[in-house]
Amino acid sequence: MGYQLIEHIEVGAGGVSSIEFTGIPQDGVDLVLMLSLRGDTNPDMRFNNDSSANYSYTLMRGFGSGITNDAAGAQNRIYLTALSNNQSTTTANTFSNVKIYISNYASSVAKSVSIDGVTENNATSAVATISAESWNNSSSITSIRVFTNPINEFSTASLYKITAD
């Protein structure tokens, strides 16, 4: 199995409200999305612009001062909000870093998503999160949209497909 870059996006001056990958090739096994984000609100994600209640999650977050966990079904987005995006209140010029693994993205069954993310901050308010999520839809994933407002300049997103060879 190998990683093959589909697209890399770097946010320019002024920031953006979303990062979107469209026309995702259907010849891979799985997808990996790597994010390095900074913004003033926490991000979320949708597949194929689906805003129906087809998403669910289970997560655990670790703080400098403790841990929390949460779970919910019938959500209208992938719950990247749990990652506590680096915001203007965190250490300057630091970014949240997230790895999102999407299994069987081109199949006609529900999609399993695992997320591992951290904020960077020189304080006890830094957060590490792991979550297991799903998208209960039989469509293959042809687009991914990460959205918050804003996503600051120098944030990056890289989408890879995992190939069988």
134/81: higher pLDDT: 134
User: Over the stretch 18-74, which tens digit does the pLDDT of each residue have?
Assistant: 999 999 999 999 999 999 998 877 789 999 999 999 999 999 988 877 888 989 889
Query: What is the SS3 assignment for 151?
Result: strand
- Cβ-count burial of 93 within 10 angstroms (0-12 exposed, 13-18 middle, 19+ buried)? exposed
**Ramachandran area for residue 74 (φ above 0: left; ψ -120 to 50: alpha; else beta):** left
Interval 68-106: pLDDT, tens: 898 988 999 987 765 556 677 777 888 889 999 999 999
Question: How confident is the model at residue 82, as a pLDDT?
Answer: 53
- The predicted model scores a pTM of 0.92
| pLDDT score of 148 more than 90 | no
Q: Given this model, what pLDDT does residue 83 score?
A: 58
What pLDDT shows up at residue 85? 66
150 or 125: whose pLDDT is higher? 150
